[in-house]
Amino acid sequence: MNYFSLFLLLFISFSGHARDSLPAVLKRMHTDSAVKLAYQERKDLALMAQPWHGEGFLYSLPKAGVMIKQQLKPEPILMAVIGQQLFYYDIKNQVHHQGLLDDSNPFSLNIAVFKALMSQDMLLLERFYQLDFLSLTNRWQLILKDKNDPDSAFKIIISGPLQQPADHIDIQQADGDSSTMSLSKIAEGKGVEQEIEQLLRQLTQSIR
């Protein structure tokens, strides 16, 4: 399944009574400290009779260019982006992969999107997407569309309560597959940075 990635023009539309703004949202999400978020994920795939469910943690260390997805259920898997390097480790089956971020790979692209939001890297977002920002009655939405085909079914919707960081990422693929990830921040700071270091050791040692 496709997961977890800039146009010269930034398209931002606000509702008539805007209560939030894209710069304010990015400022809330940005931090130089290590951050740990719990996530729950659901994927609806055409090739599967039942939705797929997963859960685990997301880690971000923007100053080092590190993003980690630690899937705990249904099976333990570690995925990480370190700079432009992409790492994957299936712990149960002892399968690992390493490569470069690929702009044509939706998994790489979606990871890059989350990384860009955490680091306020608007140039990265604008490189790949048309952006529409909406401030609704109770929530804000940042809608990312394919800059080359904005009328296609593909879109990524990042949303959260007004005056709060993102708590949902919804991805709709052009082929009809979709996924939803709910997020909640649970820790920040030096302790999280130490957890990240331990996970990176586990990940890099697995590929030696």
Write the pLDDT tens digit of every residue in 148-180: 888 888 888 989 888 888 899 898 888 888 889
pLDDT by residue, tens only, the chain of 208 residues: 333 322 212 222 223 334 677 777 777 666 778 989 999 999 998 888 899 999 999 998 888 888 899 999 999 999 888 877 888 899 999 888 888 766 555 555 556 666 666 666 667 677 778 888 888 888 999 898 888 888 888 888 989 888 888 899 898 888 888 889 999 999 999 999 999 999 999 887 766 6
Tell which residue, 168, 164, 111, 171, has the closest CA to residue 144.
Answer: 171
* DSSP H helices in 30-160: 106-119, 122-128
Task: Count CB-CB contacts under 10 A for residue 183.
Answer: 19
- Report residue 6 CA to chain centroid gap: 17
Strand partners, 170: 157, 180
Q: Which two tokens stand for residue 85?
A: 């390097």
What is the enclosing helix (H) or strand (E) of 205? helix 190-205
- Find tokens 């949902």 and name the residue: 168
Cα(109)–Cα(204) distance, rounded to whole angstroms?
22
What is the model's pLDDT at position 81?
A: 84
Cα(176)–Cα(122) distance, rounded to whole angstroms?
28
Cα(36)–Cα(193) distance, rounded to whole angstroms?
9
Are residues 10 and 131 in contact, defined by beta-carbon separation less than 8 angstroms?
Answer: yes
Tell which residue, 76, 75, 73, 60, has the closest CA to residue 118.
Answer: 60
pTM: 0.79
